[in-house]
Amino acid sequence: MSKIKICGLTNKQDIEYVNQLRPDYVGFVFAESRRKVTPEKVQELIQNLSPDIKTVGVFVNEHEDIVNEISMRCQLDVVQLHGDESPHYCTLVKPTIWKAVRVKDAKSLEQVKDYPVEGILMDTYSKNEYGGTGRAFDWQMAAHYETGHKIVLAGGLNTENVMEAIQVIHPYCVDVSSGVETNGKKDPFKIKEFIEKVRLGESING
């Protein structure tokens, strides 16, 4: 069964929602974004986060020393690298790493095949953005991608398409942010429906 990550948490109310609804992972964005949070804010938020929910920090082209410092301060379980980080860079970052790749075509995935990381996060290609586009890519391009990495699927997922995405990609984890928001804020009803779709849908299908 695919794990679930709710990304882009920014406030105490978001923490209350996920504590009730129990995704497997939550994400905090340390890169430039309307959802950007400071390490101090994340330290404050995770004090109230259920200990069985794992934390992911999202970074874009940040110096590895800063990533390691924030990761240690916030006790992150996973570091998600969304920029142009090299394989060597990944050896310098201490926690578990998910490396994002923006899928433009089948060749996009070859760029990250040999990265020394636990997970490959597939996101939608954008010329001007490193992620958070809210748009899905053609999942068929990645349907037969074989690697030793765990696959984390992102990019435009929502309650309407997540089951189809899982059936095509069979990812380790599905990652959603804007797809569970209303007017730019996390919506507990959408989070609940998304989680139910993944967990109940997968159990019904097999």
Sign of CA dihedral 69, 73, 78, 81: negative
24 counts as catalytic: no
199, two tokens: 């967990």
Contact yes or no for 181/14 (Cβ under 8 A)? no
CA distance 150 to 181: 26
CB 201 within 8 A of CB 32: no
CA distances from 69 to 19, 76, 93, 109 (A): 26, 10, 10, 29
User: Which residue is catalytic, options 7, 24, 173, 175?
Assistant: 7
Do you know the residue count of the chain?
A: 206
Torsion of CA 186, 38, 29, 70, to 10 degrees: -140
Structure tokens at 183: 């007017």
Q: Which of 14, 24, 74, 123 is catalytic?
A: 123
For residue 7, indicate whether it is catalytic: yes
Q: What 8-state DSSP symbol labels residue 135? A: -
CA distances from 85 to 11, 36, 120, 187 (A): 29, 19, 13, 32
Question: What amino acid positions are annotated as catalytic residues?
Answer: 7, 123
